[in-house]
Amino acid sequence: MAISAIFLWLALRGLKLTEVWQDIRSANYLWLIPSVAVYFVAVWARTWRWDYMLRPLKHVPLRRLFPVVVIGYMGNNVYPFRAGELLRSYVLRRRENVSISASLATVIVERVFDGLVMLVFVFAALPFAPIPGDNAHIRAIVIFASIAFFAAMVIFFALAAMPERFYHFAQWISDRLLPAKIGVPLLDFLQRFLEGLASLRHFRNVLMIFLTSVVIWLLETVKYWFVMHAFDFQVSFFALMLMNGVVNLATTLPSAPGYVGTFDEPGIEVLKLYGVGETTAAAYTLVLHAALWLPITLLGAFYMVREGMGWSDFSKAVRVAEGEAKA
């Protein structure tokens, strides 16, 4: 909450909010219709990617997996700490009997690939949409994210390549440092987690996951492009790719539910670099954020109700995840 408050203050300081509101009111919201449509195509592509990663564990038809993905993204929008990922794995266990720890491994790998694609977007867009001047703020985000995501990718490839060796090493540490009541369930969780990394053991799988991730984020950039036409400014598609990359790298920071602030401040700053007025940049970014947040949250809530679930199921998901290894 504190981090979100700081980012919101940075985003809105010095702005004339009445002018921002006027820009929001004067936008042509018909452009949101194709933007929402293309966003759900991207969500369907996310579902296909997850199905591909889950196949070593269990093949789940896309029509059954799509509501699970949407519930997870809805959870990310209303719970802190990206807790919708746990909710997604819980629903998958409930519907398809796939262990939470194994499916969580695939979800975390998804996030690492997403981060790498965001970095690719940034580096690919810069030659075509160079940032005017010297902006240390954007550079710091890119450098920090590059180190974090490339390190994570190396670690996950190592775990996927040598699961038995890593498990035995963890077992050796557990036997010497942890009591049995903690070590045994942790090792069981680790074993299931390593099973969830099976999709990284073949080059073809890795290539397919990466290419699908590129398609997903290109589609989301198309949504940025559609929403831009609702406002009175124009920047290149490459500038929107850069904005998409920077914004989504920033949202990896801990924040309030729905990435409040961590989405908005970097988005406004990137647009200002390309000569967009600050009130228009703020209006566009806030509307874009709402257009990303609201449709999938409403659809996720619908699927959650249809599944017979309520908000208390999140705490159930936590208990199931904690008790899965013991069971």
pLDDT at 116: 84
CA separation for the pair 71, 53 (Å, rounded): 18
Task: Tell me the two tokens of residue 99.
Answer: 């262990």
Task: Tell me the two tokens of residue 45.
Answer: 């592509």
What is the total count of domains within the chain? 1
pLDDT at 241: 93
pLDDT at 138: 66
Looking up tokens 């049995």, which residue turns up?
180
pLDDT at 36: 96
Residue range(s) defining the domain that contains residue 123: 2-323
pLDDT at 135: 63
3-state SS string for 194-230: HHCCHHHHCHHHHHHHHHHHHHHHHHHHHHHHHHHCC
Task: Tell me the two tokens of residue 249.
Answer: 């790298």
pLDDT at 324: 61
pLDDT at 213: 93
pLDDT at 322: 65
Task: Tell me the two tokens of residue 277.
Answer: 């007025």
pLDDT at 323: 66
264-275: string of b/e by CB count within 10 Å (b at 16+)? Answer: bbbbbbbbebbe
pLDDT along the chain (327 residues), means of 10: 90 90 96 97 95 88 94 88 85 88 85 85 80 65 73 79 83 83 77 74 84 94 97 93 89 86 92 92 96 95 88 73 59
